[in-house]
Copies of this chain bind each other. A is one copy, B any other.
């Protein structure tokens, strides 16, 4: 028997330029998610929170999910494969909302490794650049962005703290 650690993030050595990381699982964005996200982030654009406005005054005739929910969800989905054990998130570029997301659409994500650059000053780390894309259930690409992340080399990766088993005597 063995103990299996769930992978969460990657070290510098685990990123290979050109590799595709297919994230899992996807998520359906509900109307409630969208409204909640908008209110939580003070984004009161009527395209997202006013059904009547969307019907009468927009191209699609219905509420479009706020772009930052789609972006943040896709980034969240990528964390276990990309940045779960990163030192820092450095920068996001080319964040583009390519196709609208509607209530009830389901979003999936994947990332391609664009660059792996070991640090010149600190031998225990390096910078990785990935392009992450979100798709809906029909395969339409809805969002894409490039992200630079500072990650550890494998031999510098800190261990994850886990709770120690309680001493049985002291638990009485």
Which residues of A line the B interface, CB within 8 A?
27, 33, 36-38, 40-46, 52-53, 56-57, 67-69, 71-73, 75-77, 79-80, 83-84, 89-97, 145, 158, 160-161, 163
**A27 and B45 in contact, given A91-B94, A160-B57 (Cβ under 8 angstroms):** no
CB pair A76–B158 under 8 Å, yes or no, is: no
Inter-subunit contact B97/A38 (CB<8 Å): no
Q: Separation in Å of the A24 CB from the closest CB of chain B?
A: 11
Contact A95 to B93, CB < 8 A, known contacts A57-B158, A76-B44: yes
| Prevailing SS type, chain A contact patch | mixed
**Chain B neighbourhood of A96, CB < 8 A:** 90-92
Q: A91-B96, A93-B94 are known contacts. Are A27 and B42 too (CB-CB below 8 A)? A: yes
Which of A27, A33, A42, A94 neighbours the largest number of chain B CB atoms within 10 Å of its CB?
A42
Q: Is the CB of B161 within 8 A of A45?
A: no
* Interface residue from B57, B76, B92 paired with A92 (Cβ < 8 Å): B92
